[in-house]
Structure 1
Amino acid sequence: MENDDDPPQLSAETFAALQEFYREQDQKQHLQTILSDNTPDENWQLSQFWYNDSTVNTLCKIAKKSVQSGDKIALISCPTLYKTFKDELNNCSVHLYEYDKRFSYCGDDFIYYDYNNPLKIPNEYKGYYDLVIADPPFLSEECLMKTVSTMKYIGKEKYILCTGAIMEDLANKLLKLTKTSFEPQHKNNLGNKFHCYSNYNIDDFL
């Protein structure tokens, strides 16, 4: 006969679930602490040029009007979008595909990505994302072609590409992307004119 004065005991399953819950809470708190800090400095050797706040907010606004609750979003080589997307689209899954491992603080949302191996992607992400936004690191045909290969592999139907104006014809040829009225801007002005391309109408969302 059990003693009524004995403290209640958790089952092994309940205890394990409780541990997992606390682990997830710790991870979320740790991620929020890191995200509240400054974004890593640009590494020009990696051709990194961060968006200014207006561009980040505009792309987030477009994304909000492009997806529904529960949808999945991939950000390819545009890490400065991650924090705002994570905060503002918290009803969606947001993954960052990025070469710079300084952004591995994004935890399970970080997927190491090297455009030189465009299809070296976990199989479960094939045709997985409802919206894919990409900003290839280099203004070259090779880089754009390989990045588009990744976009096609992981995306379903909606694509947004931010890149130089000189890539317009190739972007249209590879993925039927057309220039929009939105022009991304960077914190440090670039010599090359940038445009935003998409395969659906985002001008109405601006």
Structure 2
Amino acid sequence: MPHRERHDSGGGPWMSQTHSVIEDELADALPSTVAAQLFDLGLACNTASLAYRQALLTEERAGQALDAIREDDPAVMFRRFAATEQADAALDTAEQLLSTYAVLAATYAEYATTVLAAAAAGKLQDVEPVTLVATSALLTDPDSALPVVQLPPGTAGDGLTERLQQLRRRVTVAASNARASGVTACYDGRSAATARPDGGIELSEDVPDGLHAYAALLLESLGLLVAAPRA
């Protein structure tokens, strides 16, 4: 019985992609709701990333168990069937958790962009509470979802502007690849990933990983901006 193509774990599914969350000093300088939501999103993204990596590890182990069973041996026909089902279920779980991670990372990146822009304009009190966004909308038009925030002169030290540009470029490339693959809607959460047809193009961790890293660097930029002396 044929089985579906599994993910390539690359450096290993245990290679976690987590980032620092908002620090107390920055949180104290922000409106309480803004700080709370940034903290919540940062932790949620870290948790989602770890859950996805754990699912990848389970998928890899299930695949190894399947590979160890000879396909042409009738004596292990039922064991191979069981192993195939388990490997496919593990793959489904990994892709669903990747999509959950993508929704959280997209929300985090959009909200961090909004807060940074408000801070740059001196309008932090105007920031509205955020709800989960549709990753597919961001992937369809990343320039609208994640507008470039111009930081005041002297704020961005140690190559921060260049790092922001690099990570934003990483996001736009991942978005372009998702659009080319026709799977943008599958990044809108677990149910959306479940609805992906069998045999379709695999979802890419570049989407949530890139968005998460970009959001974390926006948060770092926010800390520098808030700490900078005002003219």
TM-score range, shorter-chain basis? Answer: under 0.3
* TM-score of the pair, normalised by structure 1: 0.24
Which TM-score applies when normalising by structure 2?
0.23
Structure with the larger strand share: 1
More helix by share: 2
Greater RCO structure (CA 8 Å; 6+ sep): 2
